[in-house]
Structure 1
Amino acid sequence: MRSLAVYLVALAFGSAVRAAPKDCAHKVKESVVPPRGWTKAASAPANHTIELRIGLPQPNFAELEHHLYEVSDPFHERYGAHLSKEEVESLIAPHPQSIQLVDEWLVSYGLVQEDLSRSPAQDWVKVKVPVSLAEKMLDTEYHVWTHEASGESLVRTTSYSLPEHLHEHIDLVQPTTLFSTFKRMRSTARFSRTTPAAPSPSAPPIKVPTASGGEVDASCNETITITCLKQLYNAVGFTPSSKNGNKIAATGYLGQFANFADFELFNEDQVPEAVNATFDVISINGGENDQDPDEAGDEADLDVQFAFGLTFPTPATFFTTGGSPPFIPDVLTPTDSNEPYTEWLDFILDDPNPPQTISTSYADDEQTVPVSFAQRVCNGFAQLGARGVSLTFSSGDGGVGDGDSDPATQECFSNDGRNVTRFIPLFPPSCPFVTAVGGTTHIPETAVFFSGGGFSNVFPRPAYQDIAVPEFLARLAPGKFEGLFNPNGRAIPDVSAQADLFKVFIGGEAFLIGGTSAASPTFAGIVSLLNGARISKGLSPLGFLNPLIYALGAIEPSAFNDITVGNNPGCGTEGFNATKGWDAITGFGTPNFGKLKEIVTTGFLTLDLDSTGISVSL
């Protein structure tokens, strides 16, 4: 029977070959202005291989989004009733006609089913082809482009076309117009090989009313440790279960390796009960995790040590994803891979039981990411949220700029050909379906100057921000930063956490590291503790966090420690100021685990309407 089924599929596919519309007129599908900082170097080698990723429309995505918001709304009766993998895939599956017509187009260029790979929902098709064939298929010319600042190169085009009848059946094709450099978020300005001496043991603790026991060790103003974070965020004394099914993960890219020996040194220093503990490593797209001490990654070590140190003994996973877009003409790189983040997204969407909390500290300037690509990747995050996964992303280390130069002198030119000054938000943090985490420093906490914040130029403001963000904008001086940002865009960050002076072990040595790359795994660790508490009580994980965060920010602000001091300079400006309530540098502030645990594990939120207005009970 299987042989007959295979034969019938092959026969149907062969019929498509005969009907293939190879010679249909092409029409431009997407074009971009040559991006700033990239120079066209030469024509791409005809035999260079690229892996085309073809995105088919998701006609029912609006229905998926509707489900996502219902199961993520703490006031909705469906709160926490997350969808299954199969339910999500059925909602984002393309129309059969789209699949058929795209198959016909591919076959018309000599490609057969064995050449193709598809996502489980069939909304993505991938195929490896030489540049010469890609140019025919897309009626375009690929070139090698060189990034002036880094010297890296990409094989890309600034415009591509598709047969006109396919425009409604294909959302995008990449790699074409995606000039991403995909950087990690560690702030190099805050990297130090020398660990400052801790204050004298006689130094009095710092009084912090919301902290565990109302105080934090004085040493925490010099060096941030797991103990500091648990004290500051009111999490002392809580130990999660290792057997209730709760899991946490951190992602790694760009050759960032998480070193087991460093993890052991970290635990010996800061989490003695976790000595001899370990974490799983899952390789995606050929990702490696070299254990040579000289190859230990500062970003990877930071992420796993603090995310997994905070949540021990919760089972933990480090995802190491291979692939990097840069093409190196001098060594004749055989294959130009896709943006590695999409390789991870493919994998995790196909996982029937993904970790409930995942932290990522990598991003890129939003303006370097084509809108069509950003929207499709963001839709992938929505799918994970609907399945009960909480995603945290570092908001960036450049204030309102891109972090590539001194915040006071950043020029921050737009990438649309006008070359006007604009603030530069980052993607994926600007996606409305993830939680963007800004940074704080010192105790009492203030906003750290490099904390990324601002407003998306791609994604409109989501409904969950419709109260908090307009209130913040109303407090800005009239005309301040006019024309520099999009006041109607999705605002970031959502929350924040400590982001400086973190003591980590890298290559067997202690270092201090800063950056919102420290804030994201810290906040993710707190979320994972909350998930563990809920799961142990038979409740669902929190999933997509933002509707809950903004509800609590409005009606139960004590769930967060409001940060009202500091600003995030960039683009030659002083940036946004931290203020009471939500702001574009620290969001609603840093977490109060004890308060959040009380809220999310006991009765949750209810609204009561009476003649005096709305009252909230917990």
Structure 2
Amino acid sequence: MLGRLACCVALVTPALSIVMSRVNPGSRVRLLAAPAADQMITLSIGLTLSNVDQLEEKLKAVSTPGSPDYGKYLNKDEVAALFSPSADAYSAVVSWLQSNGVEHISEQGSNVNFATTVANANKLLDTKFAYYDVEGVQKLRTRQYSVPDEVASHVHLIHPTTYFGSTKSFRMPEDLIEVSKIAMAPFAVNTTSNCSVLITPDCFRTAYGVDDYTPDASSGSRVAFGSFLNESARLEDLHLYQQAYGIPLSNFSVEVINGGEDHQDINGSVGEANLDAQFLNAVTYPLPEIQYITGGSPPFVPNLDIPDAESNSNEPYLEYYEYLLNKTNKELPQVISNSYGDDEQTVPPDYAKRVCDLIGMMGLRGISVLESSGDTGVGAPCMSNDGKNHTEFTPSFPSSCPYITSVGGTQSWAPEVGWDGSSGGFSNYFAQAWYQAKAVNTYLEEGINAEAKKYYEAGAYANFSGRAFPDITAHSLHPNYAVYSRNRQGQTGGTSAATPVVAGVIGLLNDARLRAGKPTMGFLNPFIYSLKYGPLIDVTLGTATGCTGVNSHTGQELPGAGIIPFATWNNTLGWDPVTGMGMPYFKEMVKVALDIV
């Protein structure tokens, strides 16, 4: 039963309505057909959060080294008390739904979920739902929707409606070979890896300075990774990886979110998840490791069976972070690695803002959230989807959120240089973040070629006042990483590989601080941008490319893509859009981290 339902509801037809969201999904989306009028659809209304204007200042206070409030993180109840929607928001929205014949309603956190027929949803939202082909996946969506004036102030967004995204993992295709008999090797024994040929744990443990650090499993430091797209890591593959590289056998725990499935059979979809589990474990063993598997099921509505759940599927981000925020601090890991994303322009701005705010709340709780920047360099589609067909660089989301730590990529080995596929640039949704202004403006004034900058500005290809990313980097490709998948040894790479490695380094910083009686690192970016040479290894050589009409991640041509000649970002001293502030070096970074109160 709903605690906030109105007792009596009058049937009202509002005279006014406000358009909440309108998109032009572009040529990558194809209209298929209208659904049956009596087909059921489930939707979730994200209610307007309270006090969101205070989020950034509060996050700045607890995450900026030297602040008197540094490390004074909030708990679940304190965050909820600050930001939960008002009671009026719940009652107004539920009354509106009931007055329009909606019977199946439930509350979940800051959302009101409901199910109704497509015909009623069309009437309710003054819209027309239809089936669309989104890069080969059928989705039930609409190009715009409205809500009546009486509830507009209480509704932040309704989803899935105008989100035509195509979430993908940022990893390169695996080149797999059969595993023969694997001999168990003692942990920490040098296996004489040739790091210029294949990246094994010895390589990145040494390169990032964690080779002689031993964490304490009882320190309280916990690490995690997110798995999406029906992918899940296999324990058997993790054990093969551990055996091959002398890591004692250990397991990860699993939590399933929003209809996700834990596939442990050899034919299950593993993909991104396996490399996350293996690389994170290689850096942080024996710290506890958690896998969060998030499905795309519609929001839960009691007593209702949805026959076509596949077409009613949700993008994963909101459900993922709402689930995490509903856990207590003791239940949460202090660092989470994520390696999935979308082109920013395919994510409705209201959805992106909502997700970004939730990530900021994770930071207030003392959780470091890391995201791979992407594998398409300057961009792949490079064409606006607002109907104007303007050629422009393509930032990625959630990396463009200012409250997340975006991880770029390097290539080569000793020395490493910027990887040409490392995604980076400037957000079209979010403004430049407070912690990066000095570093990014130095790049714009001194680091980027002056003629290139004029060329980009003349074409309006980049929003130089937007949130700049990535923030930090690690090795991605060329040479590839060793990985085990479906009982076979193979090779992989991409910023998806870099992200769990960096997350592992942060897990060790948390271990060291907890053992010293100090709080964990929390939101990392103010710390990262305050560091000098030593804790960070600056990457000054290399370029990222893109906007050629070919997706560098998949190697496929993109019909209708924008072509921007000479589209590149250059590596330089200090921050740049290829590798951010540089690579972490734990031996020096931990000294700085332990000096912070």
Same structural fold, with TM-score higher than 0.5 when normalized by the shorter chain: yes
Report the counterpart of residue 500 of structure 2 in structure 1: 521
Deviations 1:223-243 (A, max 9, x none): 111111111011111111111
Report the counterpart of residue 340 of structure 2 in structure 1: 362
Tell me the amino acid that sits aligned with residue 230 of structure 2: G
8 Å contact from structure 2 (residues 17, 146) kept in 1: yes
Report the counterpart of residue 504 of structure 1 in structure 2: 483
Shift of 1:127: 1.7
Q: Secondary structure at the match of 1:518?
A: helix
Report the counterpart of residue 164 of structure 1 in structure 2: 149
The partner residue of 1:132 within 103, 119, 123 is: 119
Report the counterpart of residue 388 of structure 2 in structure 1: 418
The partner residue of 2:397 within 417, 420, 427 is: 427
Total equivalences in the alignment:
552
The partner residue of 2:128 within 124, 138, 141 is: 141
Shift of 1:296: 4.8
Report the counterpart of residue 426 of structure 2 in structure 1: 455
Whole-Å Cα distance in 2 between the matches of residues 16 and 103 of structure 1?
Answer: 11
Report the counterpart of residue 45 of structure 1 in structure 2: 36
Whole-Å Cα distance in 1 between the matches of residues 116 and 199 of structure 2?
Answer: 49
8 Å contact from structure 1 (residues 439, 516) kept in 2: yes
**TM-score, normalised by the number of residues in structure 1:** 0.86
Relative to structure 1, the CA distance from residue 441 to residue 463 in structure 2 (aligned partners, 3 Å threshold; closer, same or farther) is same
Whole-Å Cα distance in 2 between the matches of residues 255 and 218 of structure 1?
Answer: 33
Tell me the amino acid that sits aligned with residue 376 of structure 2: G
8 Å contact from structure 1 (residues 21, 104) kept in 2: no
Percent identical among aligned pairs is 37
8 Å contact from structure 1 (residues 216, 232) kept in 2: no
Shift of 1:106: 1.4
Whole-Å Cα distance in 2 between the matches of residues 27 and 450 of structure 1?
Answer: 41
Whole-Å Cα distance in 2 between the matches of residues 452 and 115 of structure 1?
Answer: 41
The partner residue of 1:390 within 368, 372, 376 is: 368
Shift of 1:216: 12
Relative to structure 1, the CA distance from residue 324 to residue 13 in structure 2 (aligned partners, 3 Å threshold; closer, same or farther) is closer
Structure 1 position 378 matched with structure 2 position 356: yes
Tell me the amino acid that sits aligned with residue 447 of structure 1: G
Q: Secondary structure at the match of 2:572?
A: coil
Q: Secondary structure at the match of 2:490?
A: strand
**Equivalent residues in 2 for 1:262-411 (5 A)?**
262-272=237-247, 274-275=248-249, 277-323=250-296, 332-333=308-309, 336-352=312-328, 353-402=331-380
Report the counterpart of residue 173 of structure 1 in structure 2: 158
Shift of 1:441: 1.7
Relative to structure 1, the CA distance from residue 134 to residue 562 in structure 2 (aligned partners, 3 Å threshold; closer, same or farther) is same
Report the counterpart of residue 86 of structure 2 in structure 1: 95
Deviations 1:342-370 (A, max 9, x none): 22112111111211000000000000011
Gaps of 5+ in 1: 1-5, 196-211, 326-330, 403-410, 606-618
Whole-Å Cα distance in 2 between the matches of residues 71 and 394 of structure 1?
Answer: 24
Relative to structure 1, the CA distance from residue 99 to residue 296 in structure 2 (aligned partners, 3 Å threshold; closer, same or farther) is closer
Report the counterpart of residue 303 of structure 2 in structure 1: none
Deviations 1:549-597 (A, max 9, x none): 1111xxx232101001111110033410111100000001110101111
Report the counterpart of residue 509 of structure 2 in structure 1: 530
The partner residue of 1:76 within 37, 49, 67 is: 67
Shift of 1:334: 6.5
Q: Secondary structure at the match of 1:15?
A: coil
Q: Secondary structure at the match of 1:511?
A: strand
The partner residue of 2:107 within 87, 112, 117 is: 117
The partner residue of 1:221 within 196, 203, 210 is: 196
Relative to structure 1, the CA distance from residue 81 to residue 304 in structure 2 (aligned partners, 3 Å threshold; closer, same or farther) is same
**TM-score, normalised by the number of residues in structure 2:** 0.89
Whole-Å Cα distance in 1 between the matches of residues 308 and 287 of structure 2?
Answer: 44
Tell me the amino acid that sits aligned with residue 125 of structure 1: V
8 Å contact from structure 1 (residues 80, 543) kept in 2: yes
Relative to structure 1, the CA distance from residue 34 to residue 316 in structure 2 (aligned partners, 3 Å threshold; closer, same or farther) is closer
Report the counterpart of residue 552 of structure 2 in structure 1: none
Q: Secondary structure at the match of 1:221?
A: coil
Q: Secondary structure at the match of 1:564?
A: coil
8 Å contact from structure 2 (residues 409, 475) kept in 1: yes
8 Å contact from structure 1 (residues 259, 296) kept in 2: no
**Equivalent residues in 2 for 1:197-212 (5 A)?**
none
8 Å contact from structure 1 (residues 254, 324) kept in 2: no
Shift of 1:153: 1.5
Deviations 1:382-425 (A, max 9, x none): 010000000000000000113xxxxxxxx521111111211101
Q: Secondary structure at the match of 1:547?
A: helix
Tell me the amino acid that sits aligned with residue 366 of structure 1: E
The partner residue of 1:155 within 140, 153, 169 is: 140
**Equivalent residues in 2 for 1:476-515 (5 A)?**
476=448, 477-478=450-451, 479-482=454-457, 483-500=460-477, 501-515=480-494
8 Å contact from structure 2 (residues 424, 468) kept in 1: yes
Tell me the amino acid that sits aligned with residue 419 of structure 2: V
Tell me the amino acid that sits aligned with residue 486 of structure 1: N
Tell me the amino acid that sits aligned with residue 349 of structure 2: V
Whole-Å Cα distance in 1 between the matches of residues 366 and 6 of structure 2?
Answer: 41
Tell me the amino acid that sits aligned with residue 15 of structure 1: C
Tell me the amino acid that sits aligned with residue 74 of structure 1: P
Report the counterpart of residue 465 of structure 1 in structure 2: 436
- Aligned-residue Cα RMSD (Å) equals 2.2
Shift of 1:372: 0.6
Whole-Å Cα distance in 2 between the matches of residues 14 and 289 of structure 1?
Answer: 40
Tell me the amino acid that sits aligned with residue 326 of structure 2: D
Report the counterpart of residue 50 of structure 2 in structure 1: 59
Of 520-529 and 218-227, the range deviating more from structure 2: 218-227
8 Å contact from structure 1 (residues 158, 177) kept in 2: yes
Whole-Å Cα distance in 2 between the matches of residues 504 and 270 of structure 1?
Answer: 11
8 Å contact from structure 1 (residues 54, 170) kept in 2: yes
Q: Secondary structure at the match of 1:78?
A: coil
Structure 1 position 590 matched with structure 2 position 583: yes
8 Å contact from structure 2 (residues 177, 488) kept in 1: no
Whole-Å Cα distance in 2 between the matches of residues 15 and 298 of structure 1?
Answer: 50
Whole-Å Cα distance in 2 between the matches of residues 165 and 324 of structure 1?
Answer: 30
Q: Secondary structure at the match of 2:283?
A: helix
Q: Secondary structure at the match of 2:483?
A: strand
Of 541-550 and 41-50, the range deviating more from structure 2: 41-50
Report the counterpart of residue 540 of structure 1 in structure 2: 519
8 Å contact from structure 1 (residues 357, 528) kept in 2: yes
Whole-Å Cα distance in 1 between the matches of residues 20 and 422 of structure 2?
Answer: 36
Whole-Å Cα distance in 1 between the matches of residues 538 and 434 of structure 2?
Answer: 22
Whole-Å Cα distance in 2 between the matches of residues 104 and 22 of structure 1?
Answer: 13
Tell me the amino acid that sits aligned with residue 231 of structure 2: Q
Report the counterpart of residue 15 of structure 1 in structure 2: 7
Tell me the amino acid that sits aligned with residue 359 of structure 1: S
Q: Secondary structure at the match of 2:568?
A: coil
